[in-house]
Amino acid sequence: MGALEYLDLAKKSAIKYRKEAQESLVRNNHMNEIEDGEQIQQRHVDAVLTDFLNYMGREKGVDYALYTEDLNNE
């Protein structure tokens, strides 16, 4: 699998995950530092996912140039 295919697959997973990220983070708070009742804003979830995917691209030598809007336009 090439780097771009790898990133595109990760992006598809991120698009699916972002819709349930808030609930997942709260449900799994025993594995992270989210406190009971803490609200995670969608724009923060999107920012972290976008930054991480771009980071993964840089590791593979690719300027993936992903924007947050790319995650919620699909």
pLDDT per position as a tens digit, 16-54: 999 999 999 999 999 999 998 899 999 999 999 999 999
Q: What pLDDT does residue 11 have?
A: 97
The distance in angstroms from the start CA to the end CA of the chain is 23
pLDDT band at 55 (very low <50, low <70, confident <90, very high): very high
| Contact call for residues 4 and 62 (beta carbons, < 8 A) | yes
Question: Total domain count for the chain?
Answer: 1
Look up the domain containing 21 and give its range.
3-72
Which residues, at least 6 apart from 73, have a Cβ–Cβ distance to it below 8 Å?
Answer: none
Distances in Å between the Cα of 2 and the Cα atoms of 16, 52, 61, 64 are 22, 18, 11, 13
